[in-house]
Chains A and B, each alone.
Chain A
Amino acid sequence: MEEELKYRYWIKSVPGIGNKKQKKLVEYCGSAKEVYRLTEKQLLSVQGIGKRDAAQIIDSKKNWILEKEAELLTKKGIRMVSMEEESFPEKLLNIPGGPYAIFYKGNLPEPKKTGAIVGARSCSAYGKTMALNLGQCLAGEGIQVVSGMAAGIDSFGHWGAIKGGGKTFAVLGCGVDVCYPRGALELYERILEKGGIISEYLPGTVPAPGRFPMRNRLISAFSDFVVVVEAKEKSGSLITAEFALEQGRDIYAVPGRLDDMLSRGCNRLISEGAGIILSPEEFLLDLGFSGGSGKTGSQNEKMVLEKEELLVYSCFGLHAKTIEELVLHTGLSAGVVADLLVKLMMKGIVEEEFKNRYRKV
């Protein structure tokens, strides 16, 4: 690691010194190395640095061996980039309260079209499909997908992008070497294959409730537009949308039914002026892409179905149907419906989203 970088890493590590003060100190001295050399008295002369801050800074030098810490960071495969550097993402420079430096594993997003897919953790099957579809469509057009790797919509957004063969980036509310949620380890590794894991927190930081809203501001900062797939009326995703607004990013929302708690937040965003997503294809057109690579449903319609298969298939709408409902609507016996459903599943036009609940693909 470069000499100066080691000092920047130290500044980043001082507890109690936030992004604002970090920036101020470096600006005042001209380089991080100079900051390291300041005495307590000199420190106090910097505007905005109080007595306690100065003591913290002096104190932090004791337990921080520059060489060792830098080596440890490299060993973990974690890189740090600060705002003085060329490679620091430009999008982060212009936002209010942007970080002084960020840590990442893998790669950083390239300076091209990037979108965020965010939403509820406990999502419905509808939200899951939408997130997967959108992720896949965006990735198919070469748009980078950013999200927070949380359970639910976030992960499905990532998965969609991975499925579409695109790059996806996760911004975490903990250290980049901490996989949170723990169950997302597979996703964590898949993201690293092409994209990256990003965080403004020191490696090893454990997740805490206060860090997630801050994380959300980076998600929106990294992207050109934010898509909210499913959100209740009080939801972290709406915080992301607010940040996006503040940072001047476009906001889109996936509409839902009026009585669906999980779509209330989205519907409200739309009423307040967010873009509405009518279909992934139309959305891509809206973004200025042709939408050709996304798959369309028309080929399914042409498939030849037997009379009874058609009877069952025609019962499906946007939402999943239970086997019981299908029996009731078609008037066929349970055994026959079961047989037909598996036939349709094997043809790939129906899928089982939950035990004995089926949905049109």
Chain B
Amino acid sequence: MYSIVKTAIVRGMDSVFVGVEADVSEGLPVFEMVGFLSSEVKEAKERVRTALRNSGYRLPVKRITINLSPAGVRKTGSGFDLPIAIAVLAALGEVPQENLRDSLVLGEIGLQGNVSPIRGVLPIVASAAGEGIKRCIIPLENIEEAKLIPGMEIWGISHISQGVDYLKGRKYKETRQGKKEREKPRVCPLDFAEINGQKSAKRACEAAVAGMHNMLMIGPPGSGKTMLAKRIPGILPPMTEKEQLELSKIYSVCGLLPKEGGLIRERPFRSPHHTVSPAGLTGGGGIPKPGEISLAHRGVLFLDELPEFKKTTLEILRQPMEERQIQLVRQWGNFCYPADFMLVAAMNPCKCGYYPDRNRCSCTEESIRRYLNRISMPLLDRIDICVETFQIPYEDLVSCGENEPSEKIRDRIRAAWERQKTRFQGTDICYNSRIPAGDIEKYCNLREEQKKYMEKIYASLNLSARGYHKILKTARTIADLENSEEILQRHLNEAVCYRGLDKKYWG
């Protein structure tokens, strides 16, 4: 007898639908599997055979052939166990074929027939509707993420026999009452109000977030760079439903969705250690998994001790920072993961960390230059805002007056984002930092006197064309923070103050 069961695997963020065909016919008793299988899929043979026997199904003394089609796509992952088992049972007549026609089956099974969770359920279920599938049979533990897709019938099962029962016609009843997800109040325990002083750095953080500008903080050790960076997620406005779903898909592919279910609602803050490999940052592997830059999608990627990162690792960031996604080309095809993040980097000014305080720093000009040269110009070019953090004397540390809470800063940023949304309506630009060079004139229009003023600044600061554009974009954001449609001189001035790193300072 012959049967077919639908299943799918994730490729990047997309799903590839796979048909699992089973045929039971006369011949020598073998269990054979074909269809371009990776080793973990080949192992499914033993798992399925043992699990079926242990669940009380007898395999006949016949030739069982399994084919996974299309044969040209390499099959990887552990999600094929359950569909193979169901296909065999359907071929044996244990399960009616007609119920399988509009169902999608996913899951790994153990030797006892128990069903274990797999990765990437969310993106698969999300794209299943488009394939005319009405019902998804998935591991019970993945049910919370699958239920995020409206209009899809989801059966969560914990054992093969349950799946067989439901397919035979028993009414589906969820065995585990999934915890009702409550609208939790935003918990962001880190608040800018906890930082005394550092007013200029805080202001720069605000401006950076308001336009999603990449940012670099320079300062001696212990001057609060990391402290500031960790508080940035607290001033990011919340994500929209669409963004949450998009981000959750990435986390689902990595198996990082929270156990209690629900979408990822907080903007991510990723801070990989500087020993991270290029593949760890961008995503990698034969069948690449998303890397840190994709996990930081719609949020913050914080690179502490920037010059300590391997040069090759850093240079890899250049293209995704431009394109807001990463294309990974492998033997098995192209994989595209979104990577629209805000880069926040921190570094010391020199190896010992105290330059230009010559009482504490005795680095030679040469060693300082070498330290800085670890970060290439093309990368620095992509950073709009650069500030220095300073060590604050004790008196200022204790008596600084009221500090503004993150809540208030976030409100201002949200208003600035609203302004940008209206401005960029109908385009694919979202923030000021993303304005392409060709549209600068259009969106950052200056009045005659301002233009003259910028000419003066351009000449006296020895700016490059790119540096000039960066100042305009930052000034646009600062004007937005003030709710001003026009870019005024004071906005330009402040932007000049935060302009990117100038190598002239280093000897």
User: Which chain A residues have a beta carbon within 8 Å of chain B's beta carbons?
Assistant: 121-125, 151-152, 181, 183, 259-262, 322-325, 327-328, 333-343, 345-346, 353-357
Contacts and interface: CB of A to CB of B under 8 A. Distances in A.
Contact of B497 (A123, A152, A325, A338): A338
A333 B200 CA distance: 8
Nearest to B506: A354
B200 A323 contact: yes
Given A324-B199, A346-B457, A346-B460, A261 B358 contact: yes
Interface residues of B, number: 43
Contacts of A259: 359
29 contacts: A122-B362, A122-B365, A124-B358, A151-B366, A152-B365, A324-B200, A325-B390, A327-B199, A328-B199, A333-B199, A333-B203, A334-B199, A334-B200, A335-B203, A335-B478, A338-B493, A338-B497, A338-B498, A339-B494, A339-B497, A342-B493, A343-B493, A354-B505, A355-B349, A355-B387, A355-B388, A355-B505, A356-B497, A357-B356
A118 B359 CA distance: 19
From B358, B362, B386, B494, residue with most partner A Cβ within 10 Å: B358
A337 B505 CA distance: 21
B489 to A, nearest CB: 8
Contacts of B202: 334
B365 A342 contact: no
Interface in B188-232: 197-204, 218
A310 B438 CA distance: 40
Contacts of A324: 197-201, 390, 392
Nearest to B362: A122
Given A328-B396, A333-B203, A355-B502, A338 B494 contact: yes
Interface of B: 197-204, 218, 349, 356, 358-359, 361-366, 369, 386-388, 390, 392, 396, 453, 456-457, 460, 478, 489-490, 492-494, 496-498, 501-502, 505, 507
A257 B191 CA distance: 40
A173 B456 CA distance: 43
B292 to A, nearest CB: 27
A338 B471 CA distance: 14
A124 B264 CA distance: 50
A3 B398 CA distance: 80
A335 B477 CA distance: 13
Nearest to B204: A334
A342 B496 contact: yes
A350 to B, nearest CB: 12
A157 to B, nearest CB: 15
Nearest to A320: B356
A122 B358 contact: yes
Contacts of B359: 259-262
A355 B358 contact: no
A65 to B, nearest CB: 38
A155 to B, nearest CB: 9
B494 A121 contact: no
B203 A334 contact: yes
From B197, B200, B460, residue with most partner A Cβ within 10 Å: B200
B498 A322 contact: no
A135 B507 CA distance: 18
Contact of A337 (B200, B356, B478): B200
A353 B501 CA distance: 13
Given A339-B493, A346-B453, 4 more contacts: A122-B364, A151-B507, A260-B358, A261-B358
Nearest to A261: B359
B497 A323 contact: yes
A109 to B, nearest CB: 27
B358 A338 contact: no
From B201, B218, B453, B494, residue with most partner A Cβ within 10 Å: B494
A324 B200 CA distance: 6
B265 to A, nearest CB: 31
A181 B507 CA distance: 13
B501 A355 contact: yes
Contacts of B369: 183
B200 A356 contact: yes
A321 B89 CA distance: 79
Given A328-B396, A355-B501, A335 B494 contact: yes
Contacts of B493: 338-343
A265 to B, nearest CB: 13
Contacts of B204: 334
Nearest to A150: B365
B226 to A, nearest CB: 17
Q: Which 9 A-B pairs have the closest CB atoms?
A: A338-B497, A334-B203, A342-B493, A124-B358, A339-B493, A334-B200, A356-B388, A339-B490, A334-B199
A335 B497 CA distance: 9
Given A324-B200, A337-B200, A342-B497, A151 B388 contact: no
Contacts of B453: 346
Contact of A327 (B200, B364, B365, B492): B200
B388 to A, nearest CB: 4
Nearest to A260: B359
Contacts of A325: 390
Nearest to A348: B460
A340 B202 CA distance: 18
B358 A342 contact: no
A335 B369 CA distance: 30
A121 B367 CA distance: 12
Contacts of A261: 358-359
Contacts of B396: 328
Nearest to B453: A346
Nearest to A259: B359
Contacts of B203: 333-335, 338
Contacts of A122: 358, 361-365
B496 A356 contact: no
B409 to A, nearest CB: 12
Contacts of B490: 335-336, 339
B390 A328 contact: no
Contacts of B218: 355
B200 A125 contact: no
A357 B388 contact: yes
Contacts of A354: 349, 356, 388, 505
Contacts of B386: 355
Contacts of A335: 203, 478, 490, 494
B356 A262 contact: no
A159 to B, nearest CB: 13
A356 B501 CA distance: 10
Contacts of A260: 358-359
Contact of B358 (A123, A337, A345, A353): A123
A228 B457 CA distance: 36
A336 B493 CA distance: 9
A262 B456 contact: no
A151 B365 contact: yes
From A260, A261, A342, A345, residue with most partner B Cβ within 10 Å: A342
A338 B203 CA distance: 10
A336 B218 CA distance: 21
From A121, A322, A336, A340, residue with most partner B Cβ within 10 Å: A322
Nearest to B367: A122
Nearest to A325: B390
B493 to A, nearest CB: 4
A227 B5 CA distance: 90
A116 B199 CA distance: 44
A337 B199 CA distance: 10
A181 B369 CA distance: 13
A323 B493 CA distance: 14
